[in-house]
């Protein structure tokens, strides 16, 4: 059961982001701003999706060699996945029309500091991290561990890149926000 729920998590994650992007596009806002360097992650994300489904549905490429087998940890993993999805949903709602994937240097939006952004400056990366941790607890194999171990520093790198942009774009307003709200929790 947990394996199927973990696979469903990936579907819901993608659906939330795609639906939000399509809704913004209908309103005339382009939300995808990936640079050439960012595009290298697309095939790795696709492979991750396949691996999650391969592990859930015993497809080729999945593995049955687990580091541990624990029903309790598997359910804790599902709890992390659900928490990640709820955190992502909260971030998407708080963003409103300001939601972007990547750094949008072409348009200036109001700095979002309310909703979940009043608690953490990076709820989306925290949501992705929670989901990856949850997936690893459900599928405790070396492939999921590699993705988890690689994603955390990559997310942090992107956070630092975005902070440089936000400091340049919003100046004192962003500095004040940083003094009141933590980067993570």
Q: Which residue has the higher pLDDT, 30 or 72?
A: 72
Every domain of the chain and the residues it spans: 2-180
**Full-prediction pTM beyond 0.75?**
yes
CA dist 117 → 29, 63, 109, 120 (Å): 21, 38, 15, 5
Concatenating the DSSP letter of every residue in 53-69 gives HHHHHT-TT-----S--
pLDDT single digits (tens) 106-141 = 666 788 899 999 999 999 999 999 999 999 999 999
Please give the pLDDT value at position 72.
97
**Dihedral over Cα of 31, 18, 60, 144: its sign:** positive
Nearest to 81 by CA among 146, 18, 9: 9
What is the Cα–Cα distance from 50 to 44, expressed in whole angstroms?
10
- Could you give the 3-state DSSP secondary structure of residue 176? helix
What is the Cα–Cα distance from 105 to 165, expressed in whole angstroms?
8
Identify the CATH class of 2-180.
mainly alpha
pLDDT exceeds 70 at position 78: yes
């Amino acid at each position: 059961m947990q394996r199927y729920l973990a696979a469903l998590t990936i579907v819901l994650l993608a659906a939330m982001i795609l639906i939000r992007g399509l809704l913004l596009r209908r309103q005339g806002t382009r939300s995808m701003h990936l640079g050439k360097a960012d595009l290298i992650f697309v095939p790795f994300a696709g492979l991750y999706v396949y691996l999650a489904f391969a592990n859930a549905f015993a497809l080729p490429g999945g593995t049955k060699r687990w580091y541990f087998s624990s029903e309790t940890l598997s359910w804790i993993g599902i709890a992390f996945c659900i928490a990640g999805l709820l955190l992502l949903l909260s971030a998407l709602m708080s963003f409103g029309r300001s939601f972007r994937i990547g750094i949008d240097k072409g348009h200036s939006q109001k700095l979002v500091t309310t909703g979940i952004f009043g608690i953490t400056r990076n709820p989306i990366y925290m949501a992705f991290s929670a989901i990856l941790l949850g997936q690893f607890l459900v599928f405790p194999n070396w492939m999921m561990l590699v993705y988890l171990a690689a994603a955390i520093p990559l997310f942090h790198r992107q956070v630092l890149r975005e902070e440089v942009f936000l400091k340049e774009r919003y100046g004192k307003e962003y500095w004040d926000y940083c003094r009141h709200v933590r980067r993570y929790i």
